[in-house]
Every structure is written in structure tokens, then in C-alpha cells.
Amino acid sequence: MNSIVSSRVFRNYYRQRTANQWHKVEAEGGVPGAIRPFLAGNWKMNMVPRSGVALAARIFDLCRGVKDVDIGLAPPFTGLSMLSDYIKPDFLRTEYDLGRNVFLLAQDTFFESKGAFTGEISPEMLAAIGVDRVIIGHSDRRTNLGKYFGFGSSVARRLTREFLTKELERLKAKGGADPKIVAALEHLVAEGNQEILAGTAKFFEEELKQRAGESDEAIQRKVHAALGQGLQVILCCGENLEARDTHETFTLLERQIRIALDGVSPRAMHDLIIAYEPVWAVGEGAEPATPDQISEVHDFLRNLIMDLYGEQVASSIRILYGGNVKPDNIVEIMAIPGVDGALVGGASLRAKDFADIVKFGLEK
């Protein structure tokens, strides 16, 4: 991997503006400073289809006439169809005086188009029911899956001398095994006492529970699959507390972005939005990142996109912030140069709160 991008600050494309001015900026595709804000609600695992439509209706009612920002709603998979039928542009225009600025978002997708992948949903399936954009690489999926599904317990159960002995015999009989693996197994069988093995097993079990989730490589495949189906992608990235505390934030973010975007063409980047969601700032009880922290990371990400794709893409890509965005901090967050919108969790489940976020900076 190349070294971290230069600390050059990519700011010239932002005119100084107050949050109020956002709503006055007409979107003029590709014109510096005129990035159209995108406020998206990630409902996570909340709302049955009918309550999702009811929530959307309340939000639209409160956002009547708002045409100068993009609004995104991301219900769970089960809510997509019903919401898709509800948010037809003609209906939204006549009923709520909204433009074509409402987008249906899925919270995830798989990278294969069909096959024996029980429980997964492909980009084709999402496109077929009218999904516009898909969130990929959310931290809930990057880091929490091991905890929920107990990843590691099957490894731990197997780390016994009996199992390793059998495994070694099997590998040797089959031939062609990685010599490093064979050597390690031989060592463990010969030297590893049961206590050491049990301790090692426990260690890996805990590690996997804490850390296992979607890999950067799986996320890359999802990005390609989604873009290939004409879906726009909201690519999430963000560091955990450990990375921040050990000053690894930028290294980690750079890895996440470089791997996820590997092979994505400059042209396809027009369909890609980045969401920076520091893991430690997400969810009930957490504090949002400070404006300085947000600004520093958004600058870093835009510089990285500049290095990867050049000025045109870097100046037009939208970079959202997510992590405890609320009505009382949205104005401050949107005033940070380089912030082009927000990905909202908890507050997006309350119609009034989400509508206030969408209408940030407007007279109440």
C-alpha cells in the first residue's frame, strides 16, 4: 500500500458559507462549491413496512416544498418494496410539493447476483424494486458481526491436540498444503500442551468476536457489484476508538478507502458518495465528533480522492458525516467546510427530528 496521502489541504473548492446559504445554493452539476447536500436516514433494524411508510409520510409532510437538498431513507430490506411504491415522484410532487430529490436506500447488498447464498440480497434484486442507492461497509457490519454471531467459537472448539493431529494427518495425506501451516501444526502437536492450546483458543475467540465482520475485500466486491447494477453507493468508512487512540485513524481510513475503491473507474465515481462515520461517535450515548475532528478527516478523505482520481472527482464527490447527528448540531456540522451531508441513525426514526435535520438552517 502506498504511504498516507499528503497533508495538503484541499479547500479551495469551498466557498465560505453559512448553513443558511446551503439552501440557497442551486445545484449546478460540477460547479465548484455547489455540491448538493444529502441528508440520509439509516433506520437500521427498525420499522415494519407499514410503520416505515407512516414515518416517511410524516417526514414528507414536515418537509413540504424542500427541493434543494437530497433526502434519503434506508429502511430494512423488508420495508423497501412498500416504500418504493409510496415514493413515486408524481405522488411526492402533488402530495408534498417535493421534487425528484427523495431517494430509496438499502442498508447493504451482497456481491453475487444469484445462487446458493441463503439470506443474502443481490444488487439486481434491489434495483428491480426501485432502490436508488445502497449503503456499503457500515460499521455495524464491518465490526459487530463477530459479536452477534459468535465468530470464533468454532475455531476455539477445534483447537485441541486431537483435532490438530487429525488435521495434520489429513493435510499430509492430501499433499500440496502450505508448508507454513504444516510446520505450525507439527509444532503445536509436538509441543503445545492442552492449557496453552486452550488459552490460545480463548484468545482467538475473543479477538474474532471483537473484530470479525465484513472485510475490506468483501466491501470492494459489493461496491463493484452495486455500481455494476446502476445503483449509487454510499461507502462508509470510519475508525474505532482503538485506532483513534493509537493515532492510526488516517492509516485505517486510507486502507478502507483504497481497498474499497480498487478498480472503480473515475466515471463510476460519479455514482459514489462517501460517509465518514467514526465508530466511537455512533449510537445512543456517544458524543459526536468535534467540528475539528470532522473537518480534519473530511479534508484527508478529499485529498485521498484527489490523489486517486484527480480534481474533477475530488471536487464533486459528496462526503457525509455520520455519528449522533441531531437537530441541535446539524447546522454546526453542515457549516464545516467539506461536509456535504449527513447519515443519520437514531434521529432519523423521529419524523420531526429528521425533518429538522433536512431543513437545517431554514427559518423554523
> Is residue 345 at the binding interface for ligand 13P, with CB under 6 A as the rule?
yes
- 105 vs 168 by CB, closer to ligand 13P: 105
- Three-class SS state of 327: coil
Which of 144, 256, 316, 324 binds ligand 13P (CB under 6 A)? It is: 324
> Is residue 339 at the binding interface for ligand 13P, with CB under 6 A as the rule?
no
Which of 323, 327, 341, 361 binds ligand 13P (CB under 6 A)? It is: 323
Q: How far is the CB of 237 from ligand 13P (least distance, A)?
A: 12
Site string for ligand 13P, 167-206 (x = CB under 6 A): ----------------------------------------
* Cα(162)–Cα(184) distance, integer angstroms: 15
DSSP annotation of 278 = -
> Is residue 291 at the binding interface for ligand 13P, with CB under 6 A as the rule?
no
Cβ neighbourhood burial of 348 (10 Å; 0-12, 13-18, 19+): buried
Q: Do 218 and 142 contact (CB within 8 A), yes or no?
A: no
> Is residue 98 at the binding interface for ligand 13P, with CB under 6 A as the rule?
no
- 253 vs 282 by CB, closer to ligand 13P: 282
> Is residue 237 at the binding interface for ligand 13P, with CB under 6 A as the rule?
no
Verify whether residue 214 is a known catalytic residue.
no
For residue 136, which of 274, 322, 323 has the smallest C-alpha distance?
274
Q: How far is the CB of 240 from ligand 13P (least distance, A)?
A: 13
Q: Do 314 and 292 contact (CB within 8 A), yes or no?
A: no
Verify whether residue 138 is a known catalytic residue.
yes
Q: How far is the CB of 116 from ligand 13P (least distance, A)?
A: 30
**What is the amino acid identity at position 230?**
G
> Would you say the C-alpha torsion 330, 331, 334, 335 has a positive or negative sign?
negative
> Is residue 282 at the binding interface for ligand 13P, with CB under 6 A as the rule?
yes
The length of the chain is 364
Nearest residue to ligand 13P, using CB? Answer: 345
Q: Which of residues 28-87 bind ligand 13P (CB under 6 A)?
A: 42
Q: How far is the CB of 212 from ligand 13P (least distance, A)?
A: 19
Q: Is 43 labelled a binding residue? A: yes
DSSP per-residue letters across 22-35 = HTTPPP-TT-TT-P
- 103 vs 309 by CB, closer to ligand 13P: 103
Cβ neighbourhood burial of 173 (10 Å; 0-12, 13-18, 19+): exposed
Helices 89-96 & 49-62 angle (0-180, nearest 10): 50
Residue 102 CB: number of other CB atoms within 10 A? 23
| Catalytic positions, written as ranges | 138, 277
Residues that bind ligand 13P (CB under 6 A): 42, 138, 277, 282-283, 322-325, 343-347
